[in-house]
Structure 1
Amino acid sequence: MRFPIWSWRQKLIITSLLCLVLPSVITLILTGLYTKNELRNKAVDKAEQSLEVADLYESNIMKDMVNAFNSIQYDSEMITDLRVAWNKYKKDNTGAVDFFSFKQITEKLDRITFFGGKTYVTILLPGGLYFSNYSTYKNDLKYMYGEPWLQELSKEPTNTTSWIGTQPNYVRSDADQAPNLVTIARTFQLYNSSVKAYIILSKPEEQFSQIFAKYASDQVMMVLDAHGTVISHTDPQQIGQTFRPRNASSGAFDIVKWNGLEYISVTHALPFANWSMQSLTPYESVTSRIGNLFSYVFVLQIIFFLLFAIVLLYFLNQWTKPIMRLARTAAKVEKGLLQERSKVKGRDEIGHLGLAFDSMLDRVGEMIHQIEWEQSRKRMAELELLQAQMNPHFLFNTLNSIRLQAILSGEPAIADNIGSLSTLLRMTINRNNEFVPLHEEIGTIEHYMRLMNFRHSEGVELHTNLASDTLLESIPRFTLQPLVENAYIHGLQQKQGVISISAWKQSGLMLIEIKDSGIGLSEEKIQELQGGSPVSGIGLKNVKERLQIIYGDAFSMEMKNSLPGSGLILILKIPLTVREENRDVSGHVGR
């Protein structure tokens, strides 16, 4: 096969012209780039980039501290433990604290993880009772109740967060390694009418300043509060000082004078407490490079002319070789060799063309495989359809006759079980509608439970708690039965117990909870399953995969133990946006 090459000849001519003009153009561009204003803009861009990295790091630290407040304050178990500890402390009325009695509180504080490293957590309760995640040996923290910043915070409303700033390290054992701490505090209440309590978080100031030297070695960076006080600085001597530079000029950035020197100043606001980050780049270090620029211009011109021939040959080879490879591959594909690939790569148009060509061949192969698979599935479906054409009415009529005979014989329990079996068979064989209302699905579960209890002679109880607005919501048929079967057989191990089903709506979702009083799963197994491992158990796997196919990413399934070592809870989150009009004739969701 022959291909026209006129477009490539034109490209070669344009390339030659560009290579002739390129040295002079590049020289002019470099001369313009290294003007005084351009160098200054580059310095600002570098400072902005450093600030963005440092801003992200500092913001993550601050967000992590705020999240730590929330994890403590809104942990119901932690609040309950604190209430018990405080009531016991008041009842003893000795002023002594038995820390072994409150071990669960300190253990919870120790388990809290923080971004950036070590964090000191202190909880001050009314009356002098306090807890911490660090040793308080020879370190009585009751003095904190009299700190001026705590007195001011006590006048603020409950749940007020106060960014205290930098203060000396109050943990004596670590004061030598970390002399300064950055502290924030929040007020809360154990009871609605009780006296305020306080959560105090402190991080070593080095965690804030260590990012400065790593990403801005040629800059002076600092964290300032709303009043200009230095919170964090690479020089510990500057901490606590007030930053008040004198502006020499202003614009997209500021030229400031500080300590007798001129700096290019760039500021970033942090997301909390009106704190900000300041970057100072020495102005002299930026402008000193201008004097060396022109000495390199002549040398650069000679180098560009020498590189011209090498660059021209290189580009000619790079542009023509991939085209020839594509041509050879296209000729082989035309002969029917669909396994051939050009393997042309690159970021230019030719590379994209080669990638698109190979992707097209891959797609053709996938489509051929898909068509073969669909034809096979179609033949299987036709066979199943022929098998399903046997009229099931004979079986239902026979079961109803047996049920009637059991009733006449005075065996209502056997009659009820036969009725449940008939209903389940009818639900299984009936394929008219893949989606059923929730109340109908629950009715199927009740029949199933009756048969399982009859079969295993166990008194497993089924409790349902369905919100009224969920009863008519449609779900795929036999969604809950495999989950109830899994709870009956594996959770309760076919012994006595309780299986509960609850349903309610929340934020555009219908939540269905299946809970059993069985043996549950280990936390390691739950973490493994939640982390994306294949779901164990045919019932769990089929239900999850089926609902993900129907609803896509909008569906999710959570798994947890109700109590450690007892009972498993499954929560299905089914979107309410899928309606009947979005399903095709066969009952599947339309894409």
Structure 2
Amino acid sequence: MRFPLLGWRQKLILTSLLCLVLPSVITLIVTGLYTKGELINKAITKAEQSLEVAELYESNIMKDMINAFNSIQYDSEMITQLRIGLKKYQGNNSKKIDFFSFKAIAERLDRITFFGGQTYVTILLPGGLYFSNYSTYNNSLAFMYEEPWFKELSTEPMNTTRWLGVQKNYIHNDADRSPNLVTIVRTFKLSNSTPNAYIILSKPEEQFRQIFAKYAADQTMMLLDADGKIISHTNSERVGQVFQEKRPSPDSHEVVTLNGTNYIAVTHPLSYADWSMLSLTRYESVTNKVGVWFNSVVGLQVVFFLLFAIVLLYFLNQWTKPIMKLARTASKVEKGFLEERSHVKGSDEVGHLGFAFDRMIDRFVEMIKQIEMEQNRKRIVELELLQAQVNPHFLFNTLNSIRLKAIMKGENEIGEIIGSLSTLLRMTINRNNEFIPLHEEADTVKHYMQLMNYRHHEGVELTVNLASDTLLEAIPRFTLQPLVENAYIHGLRQKQGEISISAWKQDDYLMIEIKDNGIGMTEDRIQEIMNGAPISGIGLKNVNERLKIIYGAPFAMNLISPPGEGLSIVLRIPLEGKEEKGNVSSDSGR
């Protein structure tokens, strides 16, 4: 019994069956990965929850410090007393401070309450006068006027808040108990004419550290500034150092290595000062719960899985090779290489698909050739339709006889008119050449203008200015005459005026301009035509469509109509590639 060749669907079924041969391998691997992933996710979730709780307290401390700024800066009595104090200080040549005179200021500073415990408040005024809610005995604060942040903030506007982060405790009495302070500075003014004054708020760093220790006993937590400098840490020895390792972005995690130990790092941003909190959880403390035995089993099963994957990939490669070949052929055909074929054969679905694809490309190439032939025939038919419906040779000969007889009788004007009509008739009779030199097309237009002036009794002046290197350039027959007729009838309204024809070469293009000084065209109408509005002039429409068919995309027709200066039609005709086909948007028409 012969079995038919396996189809694509049967091959997929066979692959699925092969995958079921080792269910225990896949089950163990998936279970191990899932278990480890779940443990890591739980550790990350726990770290995020701890950071959120800590962030609540940290934010309350920072918010309380901001509120303290506002309570001082916007206390009108406090500002008034500071102004009075500064005035007395500036009027005292000895620059000695009478603390009893500033008792009211000190009492107001002492009455300010803070969340989280001790907070040091310092107010620096211009000229070296300062106030605080702590004792400054043997503890001069004059060094603050030389701090880099002081010089930077001296030029900043009022209400500029600078988060200085962690710094050494500048209060000698408490330096042993609290070696580090977290400090914030804000600028304010006592009056518009005085330099900046400063409010400095500092909190002992251990207030932040206590929060970490309380809510994350099994984690290492720290508070970082925007540059990675450690502001607070569960280990006080790390305060002031820079966290060099890569920090995870918010709402994500990273595995970092510190002193040879891997940690799961989770970041939580704060709403103030672009600071953030970082939690580190030892990776081993999370993953060792899976068990050594499970890791051994998983390792063994991974070996079998790799062997199975190699075999599976080999068969998949053999089965998918025809499809990949078909895809590469389709990509080349898309780029224009229509001679490419897949040559994929077989009795299954892929073989039928390859055969159908190659047949489709063959038919596509045949259709392109047929379309090109039809376009060529259409172009010739349109040119013939533009010429006379009949071939009046007898009329041409008769007109020549009449012209000679009129000249012999002295009717030179009538003879010239009949000669122009005869020349124009000759152009319609001669259908041998689709392209004629530019100077012959210009001569045809001159005869046409002579007939039109005689017919309408108007003195429309035609000026022809063709560059010498353009005279012999070939253009399609009857290209200029319809455009001149359009200018005569629609632009000048069959009245006196001027029409000019100019030609020159620009790069690889022949530029032809037909210009009149008639009524012109509004900018709105030009924009409508540029956007695809119907072209009302049959001559313009015919010329535009014919030249698009002949020259394709390189051809362009542009309209230029300055106010009060008539209309200029500029044709851009490529000097080579007359047989290129294509579609291009029309620019104009009356």
TM-score by length of 1: 0.43
TM-score by length of 2: 0.43
Larger radius of gyration: 2
